[in-house]
Amino acid sequence: MSGMEEIISRILGFMPQRSVFWTAVLTSTIIIVTQYVHGLLNKLVILPWMKPENQKKRQQLLQKDEQEQ
């Protein structure tokens, strides 16, 4: 075996079996897609009072109401 083939053989010796590698890639892809879809659905179904701009407006109204009392 030549020097280059031996180096490649040593490097590939650390790699997992092909089925394990593809299972890890598929699992990672599923996790990433699921997180993206979850975030997207949360943005779509958020209630009006939970939105940040409405929270700020609510705080302003509460402070105004406290100052008037």
| Stronger pLDDT, 10 or 26, i.e. the higher one | 26
The pLDDT of residue 31 is 98
- Of all residues in the chain, the percent with pLDDT exceeding 90 is 29
Summary mean pLDDT of the chain:
87
The CA distance from 9 to 7, in Å, is 5
Write b or e for each residue in 5-29: b if 16 or more Cβ atoms lie within 10 A of its Cβ, otherwise e: eeeeeeeeeeeeeeeeeeeeeeeee
Q: Determine how many CB atoms are found less than 10 A away from the CB of residue 64.
A: 9
Asked if pLDDT for residue 32 goes beyond 60, the answer is yes
Average pLDDT over residues 36-50: 90
The two tokens of residue 46 are: 């958020």
